[in-house]
């Protein structure tokens, strides 16, 4: 394979993996516009996200199993095309019941068909000693794809007057981009693994193989790592309201913090990938968790005085870098943990089903604890608990290192 083709695969894979999620997460940028266009309450908007999130959690595991049995090219192409078609339907601004059904459909079309295949293709993309680079580059280009697409579509939305019609145009354009990526995936993504497995050989993954994966302790350790990293990811979300609620920063400053976090993602993931290959994945993950323990503890314990805001902002920046670095490399632990390449999708599905459960409990926990302890105390307890999750992740990463990496070496 030529070097150009090699990198073209990663570019198409990464941009697809970032942009395909913009449809179900459209509310992150166009929350009020979507709510007004559909005439929805905040509760109904929350149900939309829950419909996608719960569906995704249900199908993570079967999606991983499919990725080991069916051609990743077929899965990814089908996912992108069907997700884009769902977006074109959504652009017509149908009834609320249909919109809920579309979000459930996206949970299937994206998570069942795309997620496991993306992890498998990424692992195939690089040799065993460059897995940090592979997943780091994936997360970097995903971040660039998300940020650049958001920027262009937001410009179009503003240029058209930020109206309901403008929202329809934005959703339509985004859907067409996703469909175009589906066509590209069919012609660019390759079916042959780095170990030479063909489509027929992929189909040999059996129930016995699945049970064998479930019995592997390293799978559960990696799942703990991902879960704790995702708790930290949700913790980093709350730094924007923390700065405005507790330190009384302006909306503009809070917005700068939010946008700044978005652009730190590709930088952190890229650097983490190359550093992890040099020093080891498990060691790098452990160091990042140690940094997060210190930073979240500092944010939680620091007194909410105006003069302390610079210290908080520095810690917020470090948290963002560490969180995005973790997201860039934690699936590379599959290689260091000795998980067979043939069951990558199955393993990724199990890990994802457990690791992404913070999507359900972290927002609820944040709301309950900040309502129960108004003001700085609620945030303080939330960040200290998040620091505790990071400590658990640190222990899991060190266990992987001593039990698998060092022992093998």
Residue 53 maps to which CATH number? 1.20.1250.20
Which residues span the domain enclosing 57?
1-204
Residues 193 and 211 in one domain: no
Whole-angstrom distance, CA of residue 53 vs CA of residue 62: 15
Residue 94's φ and ψ, nearest 5 degrees, are -75, -170
**Number of domains into which the chain is organized:** 2
Above 70 in pLDDT, residue 356? yes
Residues 197 and 212 in one domain: no
Tokens of 325: 């670095």
Model confidence pLDDT, tens digit, residues 118-165: 988 998 888 888 888 888 888 889 888 887 887 788 888 888 887 889
Whole-angstrom distance, CA of residue 88 vs CA of residue 18: 18
- How far does Cα 392 stand from its chain's mean position? 20
Check: CB of residue 301 under 8 Å from CB of residue 312: no
**What value does the CA radius of gyration of the chain take, rounded to a whole number of Å?**
21
Angle (CA) 377-381-386 rounded to 5° is 145
Check: CB of residue 186 under 8 Å from CB of residue 99: no
Residue ending a domain, choose from 204, 237, 263: 204
Helix (H, G, I), strand (E, B) or coil at 41: coil
Residues 219 and 278 in one domain: yes
Residues 192 and 271 in one domain: no
Residues 168 and 280 in one domain: no
Model confidence pLDDT, tens digit, residues 195-252: 555 444 454 567 787 788 888 999 999 999 999 999 999 888 777 677 767 766 554 4
pTM (whole model) above 0.85:
no
Residues 167 and 240 in one domain: no
Residues 6+ apart with CB under 8 A from 22: 146, 149, 150, 174
Residues 61 and 27 in one domain: yes
Residue ending a domain, choose from 151, 173, 204: 204
Predicted local distance difference test score (pLDDT) of residue 44? 80
Residues 6+ apart with CB under 8 A from 74: none
Residues 301 and 357 in one domain: yes
Residues 111 and 8 in one domain: yes
Whole-angstrom distance, CA of residue 109 vs CA of residue 100: 14
Alpha helices in 215-308 (DSSP H): 217-237, 239-245, 251-279, 281-301
Tokens of 324: 């995005």
* Rounded (10°) angle between helices 309-329 and 131-159: 120
Helix (H, G, I), strand (E, B) or coil at 162: coil
Residues 143 and 228 in one domain: no
Residue ending a domain, choose from 147, 178, 204: 204
Residues 356 and 384 in one domain: yes
Residues 187 and 291 in one domain: no
Predicted local distance difference test score (pLDDT) of residue 323? 92
- CB half-sphere exposure, 232, CA atoms < 13 A: 36
Check: CB of residue 76 under 8 Å from CB of residue 189: yes
How much is the mean pLDDT over the chain?
85
Residues 6+ apart with CB under 8 A from 223: 350, 351, 354, 355
Q: How confident is the model at residue 82 (pLDDT cuts 50, 70, 90)?
A: very high
Angle (CA) 398-351-225 rounded to 5° is 25
């Amino acid at each position: 394979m030529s070097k150009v083709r090699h990198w073209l695969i990663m570019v198409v894979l990464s941009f697809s993996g970032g942009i395909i999620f913009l449809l179900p997460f459209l509310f992150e940028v166009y929350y009020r516009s979507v709510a007004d266009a559909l005439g929805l309450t905040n509760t109904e908007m929350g149900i939309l996200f829950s419909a996608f999130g719960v569906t995704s959690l249900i199908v993570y595991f079967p999606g991983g199993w499919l990725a080991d049995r069916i051609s990743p090219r077929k899965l990814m192409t089908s996912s992108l095309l069907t997700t884009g078609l769902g977006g074109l339907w959504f652009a017509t601004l149908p009834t609320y019941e249909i919109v809920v059904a579309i979000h459930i459909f996206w949970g299937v079309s994206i998570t069942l068909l795309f997620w496991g295949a993306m992890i498998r293709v990424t692992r195939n993309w690089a040799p065993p000693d460059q897995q940090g680079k592979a997943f780091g580059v994936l997360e970097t280009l995903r971040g660039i794809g998300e940020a650049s697409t958001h920027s262009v579509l937001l410009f179009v939305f503003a240029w058209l007057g930020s109206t309901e019609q403008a929202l329809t145009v934005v959703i339509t354009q985004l859907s067409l981009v996703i469909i175009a990526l589906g066509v590209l995936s069919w012609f660019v993504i390759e079916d042959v693994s780095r170990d030479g497995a063909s489509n027929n050989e992929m189909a040999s993954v059996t129930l016995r193989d699945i049970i064998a994966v479930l019995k592997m302790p390293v799978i559960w350790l990696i799942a703990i790592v991902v879960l704790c990293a995702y708790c930290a990811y949700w913790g980093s979300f709350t730094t924007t309201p923390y700065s405005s609620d507790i330190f009384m920063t302006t909306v503009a400053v809070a917005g700068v913090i939010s946008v700044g976090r978005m652009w730190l993602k590709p930088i952190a993931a890229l650097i983490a990938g190359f550093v992890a290959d040099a020093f080891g994945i498990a060691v790098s993950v452990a160091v990042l968790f140690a940094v997060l323990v210190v930073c979240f503890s500092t944010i939680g314990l620091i007194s909410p005085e105006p003069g302390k805001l610079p210290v908080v902002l520095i810690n917020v920046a470090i948290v963002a870098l560490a969180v995005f670095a973790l997201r860039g490399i934690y699936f590379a632990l599959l290689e260091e943990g000795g998980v067979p390449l043939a069951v990558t999708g199955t393993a990724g599905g199990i890990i994802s089903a457990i690791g992404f459960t913070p999507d359900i409990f972290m927002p609820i926990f944040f709301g309950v604890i900040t309502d129960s302890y108004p003001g700085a105390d609620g945030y303080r307890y939330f960040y200290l608990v998040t620091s505790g999750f990071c400590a658990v992740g640190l222990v899991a990463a060190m266990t992987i290192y001593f039990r698998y990496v060092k022992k093998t070496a």
